[in-house]
Amino acid sequence: MFEVAYPIEAKMWETSSASYQIPSDAAMDLFNAPQTCPAQDAGATRLRYMVKHLDRIIVCPGVYDGLSARIALETGFDGMYMTGAGTTASRLGAADLGIAQLSDMSSNAEMIANLEPFGPPLIADMDTGYGGPLIIARAVQQYHRAGVAAFHIEDQIAQKRCGHLSGKEVVDVGTYIQRIKACVSAAARLRSDIVIIARTDALQSRGFDDCITRLKRARDEGADMGILEGVSTKEQALQAVRELAPWPLCYNSVENGHSPLISVEEAQAMGYRAIIFSFAGISPAYAAIKSTFDRLKSEGVTGSGVTPKAIFQVCGLEESIMVDTISGGSAFAKGV
């Protein structure tokens, strides 16, 4: 269940050169957020409140299907993140190379966002927007109707790839800003609180300064938050916060990717307002499944101690029984 917490307090991040004080809540006037937020409000409205008022960074594990999302819900997080790489792998059996389209992503996001009506807000990958301004506007509409609380849209070319692969190419600034404007205008027409996160992947090819310029342009055109993808060092991650303050940033933490592993505590101290762990679900899932399949192949057994009922419990078994009972049904009268 969503919890309303306390205002942000200024914290200190120690670097080798100087101490840096992140902006206080009062300074975050670039982010439009409600002053109060009932638990039954839409996920986007609750996320806006959390970004501005929650006394801690918003931690979002990467989920990619119903089971991984159910596990995240059971564990208890302030938010969840639907990873595009995980969605592409799980739904299409393909690498994250721009293969997934709007229908793949929006349908997966809708399923995840609605597993628990007033659960943690869902941030979802929207890749490059899947086309020009008209398609991008349609994507925003579909994500809004799906119950997505926030999405990030990036500046890679249409034939994009995972942000932690080499050889990325980006569009020019003008095309990138067209994408941002399409998102902002679509959200305004829908009167939607959906949080627009501008992401740039230009660091590999254009350098840090160009990335900051792109994010500032996106901010000025109405993007609510930013992501600098694929930072090379922790100092670079901190510098992005400094350059863009008080605009709130989200950090994409990918273990064994191109960026340094930054912990929740470190990201919060730097001043990030959200952190997503894109591969937190799919990487260990791959390792566990591969190990089990290898054992089945070599030994003829799986060795798993998890019962079918245990998985069904995570996936809402008790809720289903309750719905049947309240409705006067008897489908589970003899037990399960």
Confidence of residue 33 (pLDDT cuts 50, 70, 90): confident
49 vs 164: which has the higher pLDDT: 49
Residue 312: HSE in the Cβ half-sphere, 13 Å Cα cutoff? 9
* pLDDT, tens only, 217-226: 999 999 999 9
> Are residues 23 and 73 in contact, defined by beta-carbon separation less than 8 angstroms?
no
| Per-residue exposure over 110-133, b if at least 16 CB sit within 10 Å of its own CB, e if not | bebbebbeebbbbbbbbbbbbbee
Provide the 3-class DSSP secondary structure of residue 214. Answer: helix
Task: Of 15-19, 251-255, 278-282, 329-333, give the lowest mean pLDDT range.
Answer: 15-19
Residues 283 and 170: their CA atoms lie apart, in Å, by 27
Parallel, antiparallel, or unpaired for β 150-153 and 274-277? unpaired
10 pLDDT higher than 50: no
Residues 69 and 318: their CA atoms lie apart, in Å, by 17
* pLDDT, tens only, 142-160: 999 999 999 999 999 988 9
Determine the pLDDT at residue 29: 52
Determine the pLDDT at residue 4: 36
29 vs 8: which has the higher pLDDT: 29
7 pLDDT higher than 60: no
> Are residues 143 and 126 in contact, defined by beta-carbon separation less than 8 angstroms?
yes
Confidence of residue 15 (pLDDT cuts 50, 70, 90): very low
Q: List % helix, strand, coil for the chain (3-state, nearest 5).
A: 45, 15, 45
325 pLDDT higher than 70: yes
* pLDDT, tens only, 45-69: 999 999 999 999 999 999 999 999 9
Determine the pLDDT at residue 40: 65
Instruction: Extract the tokens encoding 270.
Output: 């730097």
First to last CA, the chain: 27
20 pLDDT higher than 60: no
Average pLDDT, rounded, for the chain: 89
